[in-house]
Amino acid sequence: SSNEQVKTDIVTLTRFLTEEQAKHKEATGDFTLLFHALQFSFKSIAYWIRRASLANLSGLAGSSNTTGDDQKKLDVIGNDIFIASMRGSGRVRMVVSEEEEEAIIFDEHPNARYAVACDPIDGSSNLDAGVSVGTIFGIFKLPDRCVGPGKKVTKNDLLMPGTELLAAGFTMYGASAQLVITMKGGNVNGFTMDVALGEFILTHPDMKIPKKRAIYSVNEGNSLYWEDNTKKYFESLKYPAEESGKPYSGRYIGSMVADAYRTLLYGGIFAYPADKKSPKGKLRILYECAPMAMVFENAGGQAVDGKMARMLEVQPEHIHDRSGIFLGSYDEVQKVIEAHK
């Protein structure tokens, strides 16, 4: 007999969202419809990522974005797919994207109450090497003053700390397409795309990050620019004082979504420290640091910035503002905090 158990009680993302909505009696269904549009954008981006080298979609688009990155063709395609699906949902008022200098405002939906921050393709420098990339998103609810006919909304209405996020998560287009999502005050759930059915299936319910793990994930190529306390901390992992035992193992993929997904499953510490070359760090607050911080906190981990402030309380000064970040197992981030005292 085949060792594959025929599971019949399958929780798809669609069913999961229906069950989530049922928990909120005041729900209008708008959030659910937004998530269905998100789901479509992930399926569509996954499709084009996997076809890239067959459809001449690899390589550079020949443009750069407002944060100075050279845009890959797939950065632009992923961005266009994401914005079109958010617009088409009729439930989103504004999108902030890594690939758009200005916020995209949908004046045709004046009653829509949600704003979405997104990194359409995270890790795009790895694309042509076939290394896992993903999409990172955060969903905010706009203040009432921005919602309704004639009401104005601007990009500055999205300058909120991550504690205001209603939901956040990311996909990783790897060996299979994985999706990790979390709701405000909720837990973390992981889904795997079943390409035969075209459905995200709940495979990792109630994800909890291991309390500690001797794995560190950082681009050591920036060591020359690190602050002294950052250097001291990583040295302490690599050359442990004899009583504390073995050195940590190093794992760095260079796509935040892939390094984050491994850290969420295995435990450890991920860091992109601010340094002398990038005084505010490299990762962007609204669509990389804050959504990831929410996922990790809801999975029992921690996330802090370079000053050891709680990442979710960091207030972005502009929509592409950056921050240093340390993210991972509760005890591992505690070690960072101790080392930076």
Residue type, 229: N
Q: Is 61 exposed, middle or buried (0-12, 13-18, 19+ CB in 10 A)?
A: middle
Segment 209-228, which members bind ligand AHG (CB under 6 A)? 219
The full 3-state SS of 104-138, as one line of letters, equals: EECCCCCCCCEEEEEEEEECHHHHHHCCCEEEEEE
Pick the closer one to Mn ion by CB: 66 or 192.
Answer: 66
> Could you tell which of Mn ion, ligand AHG, none binds residue 255, using a CB distance below 5 to 8 A set by kind?
ligand AHG
Query: How many C-alpha atoms does 321 have within 13 Å on its Cβ side?
Result: 17
135 or 153: whose CB is closer to Mn ion?
135
CA distance 282 to 256: 11
Question: Residue 92: which of Mn ion, ligand AHG, none does it interact with, CB under 5 to 8 A by kind?
Answer: none
Distance between CA 287 and CA 299 in Å, rounded? 19
Quick one: which segment of 23-31, 118-126, 156-164, 240-248 binds ligand AHG (CB under 6 A)?
Answer: 118-126
Question: Which parts of 280-299 interact with ligand AHG (CB under 6 A)?
Answer: 282
Interface with ligand AHG, residue 52, by CB under 6 A: no
Q: Binder to ligand AHG among 79, 85, 124, 298 (CB under 6 A)?
A: 124
Which residue is associated with the tokens 């989530």? 20
**Burial class, 309, CB count within 10 angstroms (exposed 0-12 / middle 13-18 / buried 19+):** exposed
Q: Which of 79, 132, 189, 255 binds ligand AHG (CB under 6 A)?
A: 255
* Residue 278, binding choice from ligand AHG, Mn ion, none, Cβ under 5 to 8 Å by partner class: none
Residue 273 binding ligand AHG, by CB under 6 A? no
256 binds ligand AHG (CB under 6 A): yes
229, exposed or middle or buried, with CB in 10 Å at 0-12, 13-18, 19+? middle
* Residue 174 binds to ligand AHG (criterion: CB under 6 A): no
Piece in contact with ligand AHG (CB under 6 A), picked from 80-88, 123-131, 150-158, 318-326 = 123-131
Binding segment (CB under 6 A) for ligand AHG, from list 45-53, 142-150, 248-256, 327-335: 248-256
How near is the Cβ of 299 to ligand AHG at its closest, in Å?
18
Residue labelled with tokens 């750069």: 64
Decide: is 97 part of the binding site for ligand AHG (CB under 6 A): no
Of 210 and 281, the one with the shorter C-beta distance to ligand AHG is 281
Q: Does 98 bind ligand AHG (CB under 6 A)?
A: yes
* Residue 254 touches ligand AHG, criterion: CB under 6 A: yes
Point out which residues pair with 327 in neighbouring strands.
270, 303
Buried b (16+ CB within 10 A) or exposed e, 103-123: bbbbeebeebbbbbbbbbbbb
Q: State which residue, 20 or 288, has the beta carbon closest to Mn ion.
A: 288
Tokens encoding 10? 């399958």
- 69 binds ligand AHG per the rule CB under 6 A: yes
Q: What minimum distance in Å lies between the beta carbon of 209 and ligand AHG?
A: 18
Q: Taking the CB of residue 130, how many other CB atoms lie within 10 A of it?
A: 11
* Backbone dihedral angles phi then psi of residue 23, each to the nearest 5 degrees: -75, -15
Least separation, in Å, of the C-beta of 124 and Mn ion? 5
Alpha helices in the chain (DSSP H): 13-22, 30-51, 73-89, 228-238, 256-266, 290-298, 330-339
Footprint of Mn ion on this chain (CB under 5 A)? 69, 98, 119, 121-122, 288
Please report, as ranges, the residues that interact with ligand AHG according to CB under 6 A: 69, 98, 119, 122-125, 219, 254-256, 272, 282
